[in-house]
C-alpha cells in the first residue's frame, strides 16, 4: 500500500469524523478547497468542487448550524444527522481517494472506514446531546453545539492545510469518544444492575 493511499485514507477518515460533528461543514470546506485548486478530488466526485455545490453546501451549512441552536430541534436533527453524516462521510472519503486505485477498493474503504467513522462520531455526539437535554432540559445544548461546530471546522481546515496532523487528531478524538462511550455504558450497566 503506497504512502499516498494511506494519506488519502487518513484524509478521508478525518473528513468523515468531521461529518460526524456537523454534516455540511466538511462538505462546504472540501467543496471550496477543490474549487480553489487546493485539493484534487477523484474524477467521479469532482462535481463537489463546483459553484453549484459550494452554493448548496453553504446554504445547508448555515441552516444546520442555526438549527442546532434551537432547543429540542437539535435532538430531532440528531435522528437525521446519523444517516446523513454516514452518507457524507462515505462521499468525502471516496472523493479524496486517488483515481489510480480500484473503484471497488475506493468505495469499500469509503463505506467501511468513512461511513463507519462518521456514524460512530455522530452517534456519540447525539448521545451526549440527549444526556445534556435530560440533565439540563436542553439549556446547555448550545454549548455542545458550539463545540461541535468548532471541532468540525478545525478538522476540516486541518485536513486541507495539514493532512498528517489531521490524522493524529482523528485518532485522539476517536480514542476520547470511545473512552467516554465505554464509561457511559459501564455506568448505565452499573445503574441498571443496582436498580
Three-state SS for 112-136 is HHHHHHHHHHHHHHHHHHHHHHHHH
pLDDT per position as a tens digit, 25-67: 999 999 999 999 888 899 999 999 999 999 999 999 999 999 8
Q: Evaluate whether residue 77 is within a structural domain.
A: yes
Split into its structural domains, the chain has a count of 1
Work out the pLDDT band at 117, boundaries 50, 70, 90: very high
Q: What is the rounded average pLDDT for all residues in the chain? A: 86
CA-CA-CA-CA torsion sign (148, 149, 155, 158): negative
pTM attached to this predicted model = 0.79
The pLDDT score that the predictor gives to residue 63 is: 93
Give the separation between CA 140 and CA 28, rounded to whole angstroms.
27
Longest CA–CA span in the chain (Å) reads 59
The pLDDT score that the predictor gives to residue 2 is: 65
Q: Evaluate whether residue 191 is within a structural domain.
A: no
pLDDT per position as a tens digit, 77-87: 888 899 999 99
Runs of H (alpha helix) within 36-162: 51-67, 73-96, 103-109, 116-136, 141-161
Q: Which residue segment(s) compose the domain that 70 sits in?
A: 3-185
Q: Evaluate whether residue 144 is within a structural domain.
A: yes
Q: In this structure, what C-alpha cell is assigned to residue 166?
A: 489531521
Amino acid at each position: 500500500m503506497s504512502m499516498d493511499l494511506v494519506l488519502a485514507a487518513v484524509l478521508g477518515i478525518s473528513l468523515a469524523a468531521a461529518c460526524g460533528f456537523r454534516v455540511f461543514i466538511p462538505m462546504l470546506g472540501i467543496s471550496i478547497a477543490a474549487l480553489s485548486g487546493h485539493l484534487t478530488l477523484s474524477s467521479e466526485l469532482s462535481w463537489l468542487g463546483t459553484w453549484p455545490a459550494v452554493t448548496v453546501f453553504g446554504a445547508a451549512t448555515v441552516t444546520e448550524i442555526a438549527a442546532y441552536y434551537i432547543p429540542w430541534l437539535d435532538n430531532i436533527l440528531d435522528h437525521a444527522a446519523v444517516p446523513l453524516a454516514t452518507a457524507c462521510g462515505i462521499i468525502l472519503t471516496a472523493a479524496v481517494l486517488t483515481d489510480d486505485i480500484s473503484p471497488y477498493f475506493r468505495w469499500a474503504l469509503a463505506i467501511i472506514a468513512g461511513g463507519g467513522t462518521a456514524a460512530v462520531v455522530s452517534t456519540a455526539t447525539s448521545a451526549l446531546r440527549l444526556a445534556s437535554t435530560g440533565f439540563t432540559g436542553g439549556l446547555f445544548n448550545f454549548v455542545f453545539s458550539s463545540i461541535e461546530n468548532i471541532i468540525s471546522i478545525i478538522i476540516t481546515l486541518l485536513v486541507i492545510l495539514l493532512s498528517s496532523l489531521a490524522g493524529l487528531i482523528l485518532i485522539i478524538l476517536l480514542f476520547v469518544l470511545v473512552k467516554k462511550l465505554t464509561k457511559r455504558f459501564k455506568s448505565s450497566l452499573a445503574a441498571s444492575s443496582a436498580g
